[in-house]
């Protein structure tokens, strides 16, 4: 299992394939395992690297929990330095998309193309009261419920009604691996998230993807983000929920390949 040391953290990642590097950033309830269908297909075209964010999967927990996505982006940059990757294609899902936007803002010269899947505007899309309630609910869950209870509570929102039993079981298996340090770090980062002013400064081509039936970050979220980008397009995955890349990997992967091959 490949690991790199970044500051005081041990960061685990999956790596397969050959060609230009494509880095995958998972969402709040996931880890590198959730990209299995992407790794298997895209490795024939790219060197695919899927990290476990700090506090997730096989990566270690931050000694002090993170408060914003700049901290995740800094660790990601350290990982890419360790791997000696100068320029990459970057794909982020949900909170991974927030990290990707932050990374692109902080290190613009390292990105060739950017893919944002089921993106979130975080606090910028909410009233202060709604934002406070979301944070309190997330912190209550991770502090008072078992990971299985959290998965049972959240999974129906993450998947469309069309998701197969196989996908449902796989998603639940991955969700039950969440840990308090990682989950709280993301909850706090989402609470402080407001990236709308950053978007118009991103000058690389951007593909925005969203599941048609995503109720966690609905299409209007992706549309609001895409409107601020200067060089982008939006692809909707028919019948897909928030985890459209797991529900319909064929269309998700083909959209990525078409975009990256242009």
CATH of the domain at 48: 3.40.50.1820
| Cα-to-chain-centroid distance, residue 73 | 12
Give the confidence band of 90 by pLDDT, cuts at 50, 70, 90: very high
Q: How far apart are the C-alpha atoms of 249 and 253, rounded to whole Å?
A: 6
Q: How far apart are the C-alpha atoms of 220 and 192, rounded to whole Å?
A: 20
Q: How far apart are the C-alpha atoms of 26 and 171, rounded to whole Å?
A: 12
Burial (CB < 10 A; 0-12, 13-18, 19+), residue 76, is buried
Model pLDDT, residue 40: 97
Q: Which of 68, 92, 62, 58 is nearest to 188 (CA)?
A: 68
Give yes or no for residue 30 having a pLDDT over 80: yes
Model pLDDT, residue 180: 96
Interval 197-249: pLDDT, tens: 999 999 999 999 999 999 999 999 999 999 999 999 999 999 999 999 999 99
Model pLDDT, residue 19: 95
Mean local confidence (pLDDT), 89-117? 97
List the strands of the sheet with 232-237, edge to edge: 3-6, 9-16, 47-51, 21-25, 88-93, 111-117, 206-211, 232-237
Model pLDDT, residue 209: 98
| Cα-to-chain-centroid distance, residue 245 | 11
| Cα-to-chain-centroid distance, residue 2 | 20
Question: Per the structure, how many domains does the chain have?
Answer: 1
Residue with tokens 């129906």: 156
Q: How far apart are the C-alpha atoms of 37 and 54, rounded to whole Å?
A: 22
Q: Which secondary structure element, helix H or strand E, spans residue 5, and what is its range?
A: strand 3-6
> For the whole prediction, is pTM greater than 0.95?
yes
Model pLDDT, residue 114: 98
CA distances from 224 to 99, 108, 109 (A): 18, 22, 25
Q: How far apart are the C-alpha atoms of 218 and 210, rounded to whole Å?
A: 8
DSSP states of 214-256: -SSS-HHHHHHHHHH-SSEEEEEETT--TTHHHH-HHHHHHHH
Q: Degrees (nearest 5) of the Cα angle 38, 67, 98?
A: 30
Interval 39-72: pLDDT, tens: 999 999 999 999 999 999 999 999 999 999 999 9
Give me the phi and psi of 91, to 5 degrees please. -125, 125
Interval 151-205: pLDDT, tens: 999 999 999 999 999 999 999 999 999 999 999 999 999 999 999 999 999 999 9
Domain that holds residue 165: 3-261
Q: How far apart are the C-alpha atoms of 65 and 55, rounded to whole Å?
A: 9
Model pLDDT, residue 211: 98
Kindly report the three-state secondary structure assignment for every residue of 103-141. HHHHCHHHEEEEEEECCCCHHHHCCHHHHHHHHHHHHHH
Question: With contact defined as beta carbons under 8 Å apart, do 50 and 26 qualify?
Answer: yes
């Amino acid at each position: 299992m490949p690991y790199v040391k970044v500051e005081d953290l041990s960061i685990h990642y999956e790596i397969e394939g050959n060609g230009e590097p494509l880095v995958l950033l998972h969402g709040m309830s996931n880890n590198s395992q959730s990209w299995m269908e992407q790794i298997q297909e895209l490795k024939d075209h790219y060197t695919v690297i899927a990290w476990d964010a700090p506090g997730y999967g096989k990566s270690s927990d931050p000694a002090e929990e993170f408060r914003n996505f700049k901290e995740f982006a800094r660790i990601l940059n350290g990982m890419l330095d360790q791997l000696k990757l100068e320029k990459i294609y970057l794909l982020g899902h949900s909170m991974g998309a927030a990290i990707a936007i932050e990374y692109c803002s902080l290190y613009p010269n390292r990105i060739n193309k950017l893919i944002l899947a089921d993106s979130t505007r975080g606090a910028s899309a909410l009233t202060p009261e709604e934002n406070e309630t979301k944070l309190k609910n997330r912190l209550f869950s991770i502090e008072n419920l078992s990971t299985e209870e959290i998965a049972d509570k959240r999974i129906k929102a993450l998947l469309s009604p069309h998701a197969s039993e196989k996908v449902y079981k796989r998603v639940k298996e991955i969700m039950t691996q969440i840990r308090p340090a990682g989950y709280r770090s993301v909850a706090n980062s989402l609470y402080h998230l407001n990236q709308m002013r950053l978007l118009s400064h991103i000058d690389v081509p951007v593909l925005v993807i969203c599941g048609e039936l995503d109720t966690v970050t609905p299409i209007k979220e992706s549309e609001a983000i895409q409107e601020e980008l200067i060089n982008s397009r939006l692809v909707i995955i028919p019948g897909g929920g928030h985890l459209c890349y797991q529900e319909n990997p064929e269309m998700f992967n083909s959209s990525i390949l078409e975009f990256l091959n242009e």
